[in-house]
Amino acid sequence: MARGDVRNICFHGIGTPGRTIDDDEARYWITADEYLRILDEIATWPATVVSFDDGNASDVEIGLPGLLERGLTATFFVLAGRLDTPGSLTSQQVAGLGAAGMRVGSHGMDHVSWRAMTAEVRRRELVEARDVIAAVAGEVTEAALPRGQYDRGTLRSLRELGYTAVHTSDRRLATDGAWLRPRFSVTRHDTPQTLVQAALVPPPVHRRVALEAKGLLKRWR
């Protein structure tokens, strides 16, 4: 394992969704038991960073207690447009995350792709959403890409707007302190063992090169 490698593990929903979700989202919902088994595993890993996307109510109902019991922390990437709606985190819950030792970032407003944004969408997703979340949680400097989608324009906008870190879903190791941070999103097909294989066992060199090339392509198209 190369020096400076960081494993970023991202959760979405845990248990039963409290709102209607589509098939694409359903893929990222796991049971509470599986969540705790995975946390027990990754709690033993070096340089591992946990995050939650989408601002589901289960982040605080199930995710947070599991973290606190293990002395772990996480960044919660909240959707500004879903705050205080059924099945999602309340403003009050988000406001309390800091006191619990957690960090809060932006996942935008409406969970739409950040590729090829119009000026209007860019403003709503990258500026207004950050303002809404900052009003409840304090300063927000990091973002996670909705649906993991981005292009060169997305990254340029995020840089111009002063985001200090951007979290992708590119399923490869990240470099400590890098601005663009790939993450492994946990799906319902994952187990502690599949995550060990994906994130802890170093991939063969040819696969690593292929994954890095894929990331490079995304950044340049």
Residues that bind Zn ion (CB under 5 A): 53-54, 146
Residue 144 Cβ vs Zn ion, minimum distance, rounded to whole Å: 7
| Residue closest to Zn ion when measured from CB atoms | 53
Q: How far is the CB of 182 from Zn ion (least distance, A)?
A: 15
Please count the CA atoms within 13 angstroms of the CA of 158 that sit on its side-chain side. Answer: 27
Helix (H, G, I), strand (E, B) or coil at 177: coil
Residue with tokens 């996942």: 107
- Closest to Zn ion by CB, 107 vs 172, is 107
Residue in 138, 128, 120, 135 with CA at minimum distance from that of residue 161: 128
CB of 82 to Zn ion, least distance (A): 10
Q: How far is the CB of 111 from Zn ion (least distance, A)?
A: 6
Closer Cβ to Zn ion, 53 or 125, answer by number: 53
CB proximity list for 103: less than 8 A, separation 6 or greater: 73, 74, 75, 76, 97, 142
Smallest distance, Zn ion to C-beta of residue 54, A = 4
The CA distances from residue 165 to 17, 137, 176, 221, in Å, are 29, 17, 11, 20
Q: Which is nearer to Zn ion, 18 or 203 (CB)?
A: 18
**What is the separation, in whole angstroms, between the first and last Cα of the chain?**
30
Helix/strand/coil percentages in the chain, nearest 5: 40, 20, 40
Q: Output 53 or 142, the one with its CB closest to Zn ion.
A: 53
